[in-house]
Amino acid sequence: MGVGVGVEWRVARGRNRRRAGSDGDGDAPRGSPGRGVRAVLIIALAVVAVAGGAAGGRSLVRSEALRLRAIRFEGLTRARADELLALSPVRIGDNILSADLEGLERALTRHPWVRSADARRSWPPSLTVKVNERAAAALIELDGLYLVDDQANVFKRAAAGDGLDLPVVTGIGRADFVQRRAEVEPLLWGALALARAWRTSPREAAAPLSEIHVDPGEGTTIYVGDEGTQVRLGQGDLPAKLARSEQVLSALRAEGKKAEVLHLDNRLHPSWVAVRLAGAGR
């Protein structure tokens, strides 16, 4: 008598722009080694019952029937399956019931692109691992270019093979970032918020954002467009200042003119915009 089972359980452009080259076990907690065991065990015992009862059960546990046949990854864009398999403490051929899923998930986060992972047991014996990858939001200069995500996590040294074209955050020294992170991290958060606002607005297409320079005293300066126009935003009310800068740049483009520097950092008159045109005398 044959038994067939095939059910699965989820047990820079511009001056400084840089290119870097459950359905499971109900109440079982996330990361618990028991996720998916119940469902897999039920199917295994059903096979055992057909195969010969208790004696068949002992034979089954010792046999190849519960050995992992495959580990599948879902959600991969940057990380590669072979890289994750090399990090995994669970291997093909391990017993599916004793596989340490929590250890596997923890190990995969050692890969720089992996934010989190969720592994589930399936039948026939296999694992399905859903991977949540990081998305690079910007580059940061820390005595070398590094990738930073939208949660201000610096997670990887930039490499040409990354194939990214992102604004670079400058002004935060490596020593300060390592030794005084709580003090300088708000500057990075502010830069990332500015980059996100620029990226999601029409101005990115007209004047790509190249660099965000942060300074505790002077505030924020950005460089935009292929010519690297300097826009001195200073401190406070950055959204309104960004909107005014785009109005000025659009007006200049309509007249066939280019700005070298825009000043929006007048502390006495924060709504003023002063312009130095490209090629104008100093």
Which residues 6+ apart lie within 8 Å of 230 measured at CB? 221, 222, 223, 260, 261, 262
pLDDT higher than 80, residue 15: no
Tell me the pLDDT of the chain averaged across its residues.
82
Q: Please tell me the predicted confidence (pLDDT) of residue 266.
A: 85
Residue 1 lies in a domain: no
pLDDT higher than 90, residue 200: no
Residue 8 lies in a domain: no
Q: Within this chain, do residues 189 and 96 fall inside the same structural domain, yes or no? A: no
Percent over 70 (pLDDT), the chain: 76
Boundary residue ending a domain (133, 148, 166):
133
Residue 255 lies in a domain: yes
Q: Within this chain, do residues 144 and 272 fall inside the same structural domain, yes or no? A: yes
Tell me the CATH number at 44: 3.10.20.310
Contact 196, 209 (CB under 8 A): no
Residue 78 lies in a domain: yes
Q: Within this chain, do residues 176 and 118 fall inside the same structural domain, yes or no? A: no
Boundary residue ending a domain (133, 156, 185):
133
Mean pLDDT within 212-236: 91
Q: Within this chain, do residues 77 and 182 fall inside the same structural domain, yes or no? A: no
Contact 231, 32 (CB under 8 A): no
Q: Within this chain, do residues 185 and 243 fall inside the same structural domain, yes or no? A: yes
How would residue 149 be classed by pLDDT, with cut points 50, 70 and 90?
very high
Amino acid occupying residue 133 = E
Residue 61 lies in a domain: yes
- Judging by beta carbons within 10 Å of its beta carbon (0-12, 13-18, 19+), is residue 11 exposed, middle or buried? buried
Q: Within this chain, do residues 110 and 158 fall inside the same structural domain, yes or no? A: no
Q: Within this chain, do residues 160 and 144 fall inside the same structural domain, yes or no? A: yes
Q: Within this chain, do residues 119 and 242 fall inside the same structural domain, yes or no? A: no
Mean pLDDT within 173-188: 93
Q: Within this chain, do residues 169 and 248 fall inside the same structural domain, yes or no? A: yes
Boundary residue ending a domain (99, 133, 167):
133
Q: Please tell me the predicted confidence (pLDDT) of residue 11.
A: 35
Q: Within this chain, do residues 213 and 271 fall inside the same structural domain, yes or no? A: yes
Mean pLDDT within 192-215: 87
Q: List the domain range (segments joined by +) for residue 82.
A: 22-133
CA separation, residue 200 to residues 151, 195, 243 (Å): 17, 9, 13
CA separation, residue 186 to residues 97, 131, 154, 235 (Å): 46, 29, 14, 13
Q: Please tell me the predicted confidence (pLDDT) of residue 238.
A: 86
Conformation bin of residue 124: beta by default, left when phi > 0, alpha when psi is -120 to 50: beta
How many other CB atoms are there within 10 angstroms of residue 237's CB atom? 14
Which is nearest to 278 in space by CA: 260, 261, 265, 264? 260
Contact 24, 128 (CB under 8 A): no
Residue 2 lies in a domain: no
Contact 148, 157 (CB under 8 A): no
Mean pLDDT is highest, among 49-53, 120-124, 127-131, for: 127-131
Q: Please tell me the predicted confidence (pLDDT) of residue 23.
A: 43
Domain count, the chain: 2
Q: Within this chain, do residues 26 and 142 fall inside the same structural domain, yes or no? A: no
Residue 98 sits at the vertex; the CA angle it makes with 95 and 102, to the nearest 5 degrees, is 125
Tell me the CATH number at 228: 3.40.50
Residue 9 lies in a domain: no
Residue 246 lies in a domain: yes
Q: Within this chain, do residues 144 and 247 fall inside the same structural domain, yes or no? A: yes
Q: Please tell me the predicted confidence (pLDDT) of residue 188.
A: 95
Q: Please tell me the predicted confidence (pLDDT) of residue 48.
A: 53
The reported pTM is 0.75
